[in-house]
Structure 1
Amino acid sequence: MSYDEKSDISLRLPARTVEALDRIAQVLDRDRSWVMWKALDQYLANEGAEILRDAHGLDELDRGESVALDDALEKARMIVDASAVRHPRVG
C-alpha cells in the first residue's frame, strides 16, 4: 500500500476524547479524521518507533546477536581513557 492510499477503520473512543478531537478540528478548521491522523502519526513516530526498536533488539537477542556485557564495558573504558588522554581536565 502506498502512502497516499487510505483504509477505513473503526475506532471506539471515550466521548471526552471525541469531544476534544472535535474542538481541535474546529479550531484548526480541519476534520476530525485529519486531527486523528496527525495524533496517530506523532504516536507512531515517537512511542511506536521506540516499541519497534525494542522489539528489534529483543529479536536480535533471541537470535544470539548480542555483545557480552564485559566486552561492551571494556570498549566504553577504552573510549573514555582515550578521550581523557586527548582532553585532560584542568583544574
Structure 2
Amino acid sequence: MAAEMRTLTAQVPVELAQEVDALAELIERPKQWIIKKALVQYLAREAEKRRLIQEGLDDVTAGRVVTIEQVEAWANSIGTDNELPAPKP
C-alpha cells in the first residue's frame, strides 16, 4: 500500500536549487527523490540529537555526572607513566 503523499513548498537559495538540479541530472534521479532523501536524513539526525540531549539531561538529573576536575586530571594524565582511567559517574 502506497503512503499518502503531501506536497511541501520551500524557497531555497538559487545556488542550492542549482546544486539539486545538477545532482539530479548526474545521478539520473528526480529532484523530488533527492529532496525527500535529504529531508528524511535531516529529520533523523535532528531526532537523534534531541534524544541525546534528553539522555544527557536525564543523566544530570539522576546525578550521573563527573566534575571538570576529574576530567582535567584524567586528560592531564594521558601519555604519562601514571595514566588514569577515564572518569565514570
> What interval of TM-score do these two structures reach, taking the shorter chain for normalisation?
0.5 to 0.7
Task: Give the superposition deviation at 1:17.
Answer: 0.3
Equivalent residue pairs, number: 69
Task: Give the superposition deviation at 1:68.
Answer: 1.7
Following the alignment from structure 2 to structure 1, what is the Cα–Cα distance between the partners of residues 42 and 2?
A: 17
Question: Which stretches in structure 1 are left out of the alignment for 5+ residues?
Answer: 71-75, 78-91
1:50–1:32 distance in 2 versus 1, CA, 3 Å: same
**Structure 1 residue ranges, 4+ long, deviating more than 3 angstroms after superposition:** 54-61
Task: Give the superposition deviation at 1:20.
Answer: 0.2
> Structure 1: which amino acid aligns with 2:47?
A
Question: Which stretches in structure 2 are left out of the alignment for 5+ residues?
Answer: 66-87
Give the RMSD, CA atoms, in angstroms.
Answer: 3.3
**Sequence identity percentage:** 24
1:57–1:15 distance in 2 versus 1, CA, 3 Å: same
1:44–1:57 distance in 2 versus 1, CA, 3 Å: same
Structure 1 residues 34-76: Cα deviation after superposition (integer angstroms, max 9, x where no partner):
1101111111222x12333156448868xxx931246xxxxx3
Higher relative contact order (CA 8 A, sep 6+): 2
Normalised by the length of structure 2, the TM-score is 0.57
Q: As a proportion of its length, which structure holds more helix?
A: 1
